[in-house]
Amino acid sequence: MISRILKRWGGVEKVEEFLTYLAVKKNVSASTQNQALAAILFLYREVLQIESLKK
């Protein structure tokens, strides 16, 4: 399961792409982007126990 998540997200580039998508295509606020990033970081750090996203 973890490997499927990592393949889907693919590291920093995919996270940046997703946050850009939220801003540009979905027109969300900066606070919504920040909350999305916090959720992704929580997933990686607390659930998957991965300290950093790699490029």
Question: Closest Cα to residue 19, out of 42, 43, 36, 41?
Answer: 36
Spatial separation of the C-alpha atoms in residues 35 and 23, rounded to whole Å:
12
Max CA separation in the chain (angstroms): 31
Contact 11, 17 (CB under 8 A): no
Q: Which pLDDT score is estimated for 4?
A: 63
Residuewise pLDDT in 10s, the chain (55 residues): 555 656 666 677 888 888 899 999 999 999 999 999 899 888 888 887 877 766 5
Domains of the chain by residue range: 2-47
pTM comes to 0.71
